[in-house]
Amino acid sequence: MSKYLFDKDSSVIVLDVFIGNKGIRKKIRMALDTGATYVMIPWEVAEILELKPELSKERIETVTASGVEKVPLVNLEIVRVLDKEARTIRAIVHDLPSRSYVDGLLGLSFLKNFNLHINFKEGTLEIE
């Protein structure tokens, strides 16, 4: 079981997440988001990982601050948080606003592979 300490007074749990495709690995900061169906990564990272989101035939509608947008859906070969990893994770490609403190969102397409225990009183997150 992996245990992570977070600031219990913070409004967001931020994690370092390692994602990969075609042997290319990238570390990005993501907000834990149990309300997000998918992992969300920014366009720049998708391009670095050679995911070619602009060519994706799969697009889904997502609600953003500016309204509803169609965004590409891609597969990440690997997503690792703490010492837990999952393979072939569905992700949407979309940029968060520039004032965001994170690069993306860690959504259910990753989280549903594990048991997640969040203790807000102690400020601990466990993934098993």
What tens digit of pLDDT does each residue of 90-128 get?
Answer: 999 999 988 888 999 999 999 999 999 999 999 999 999
d(Cα 85, Cα 57) in Å, to the nearest integer?
Answer: 26
What is the distance between the alpha carbons of residues 122 and 128, in angstroms, rounded to a whole number?
18
Which segment of 7-11, 13-17, 44-48 scores lowest on mean pLDDT?
7-11
Report the pLDDT value the prediction gives residue 87, as an integer from 0 to 100.
Answer: 98
The parent domain of residue 99 ranges over 2-127
Q: Please count the structural domains in the chain.
A: 1
Top mean-pLDDT range of 22-26, 61-65, 94-98: 22-26
Q: Is 15 exposed, middle or buried (0-12, 13-18, 19+ CB in 10 A)?
A: middle
Side-chain-side CA neighbours of residue 119 (13 Å): 9
Question: Which residues on adjacent β-strands are paired with residue 2?
Answer: 127
Q: What is the mean pLDDT of residues 19-47?
A: 97
Alpha carbon distance 8, 74 (integer Å) = 33
Element (DSSP H or E) covering residue 44: helix 43-48
Q: Which CATH number characterizes residue 17's domain? A: 2.40.70.10
pLDDT of residue 59 exceeding 90: yes
Averaged pLDDT of the chain: 94
